[in-house]
Structure 1
Amino acid sequence: MALPMWADDPGTETVKPREYRVWLTPTQAHPIDGVRYDQVPRYPLRREEPAALSADRWAWKIQRTPGVAGRRGGCVVHVWDCEEAPQEAEELDVLAALEVLRRPGAVACGECGADVALGPLA
């Protein structure tokens, strides 16, 4: 069942209609007199692919830096698609990335904007 709903659009500072789907049990749903239901799907809807582009994803990668002159090495936190981020590194969520930034010697990359995104949270 699709119901009209309203959603804020922060980009344009307006309110737009949005479709909202729910599944009902047979006891909750009953036909309305005078309405045709021959076009209503009777199968589960397929999950839609995420609408966000891959560039809109928020994931983080860690680059380990070697220690110099007997000092301990550190870490650099990168946005997942940063050119400096190691390709083979595991992608982390924001909480894991913030945990890494709390370690001594860890910094956020300034080239990919990780410092801007994570700086206020760290």
Structure 2
Amino acid sequence: MTTASVDAAGPVPVRVVLPADPLLWHPEQGVVARLWRRRQTETGWVYLVGLPSYRDLEDGGVEAAEYRVWVRAPDHMRPVDGVDYDQVPTEPLPPAPRKSVVREVLGKRRPSGWVLAKVREGRGPARAVLHAPDCGRHPRARRCSMCSAPLDVAENPGTQLCTLCGCAQELTPLLHGSDHITDS
């Protein structure tokens, strides 16, 4: 058998296994087609092959043509003896994006900002609770607004800082500086 000599830009022969039809051919028989390129996908390799075909001409004639289609390998492909497939243009699966080690350890990032939930409205000192936007305790049914100056709001005696979402743990050191730290 001879080795097909094809430059890197040209196709190489490959056997395409056709669907089984016992009346017409044996299931392992196939058609020698031209292999144009290979591509790795999430589910395996696919090959772009050119199958021999015919095309009708406008003048009523018929001419030889090629029908190109992607087929699964190795289910529908068999190598032709003596053919070197190393020169076939190959598209490997791109590497998966690396996940940041910081994101792996800390998890999903919390939305930025703070939400002020009004607890009581009307006369008297306003009562409110400052929450993180993703806090499960802030009442979505009541009037809430994004807080543009969380430290100013947190200094108000009528405002509580939520301990569930970490608002109190994050803002208390900013409000009181280091005066809450004691030597033990």
Q: TM-score range by the shorter chain?
A: 0.3 to 0.5
Q: Which has the larger radius of gyration?
A: 2
TM-score (norm 1): 0.45
TM-score, length of structure 2 as denominator length: 0.31
**Greater fraction strand:** 2
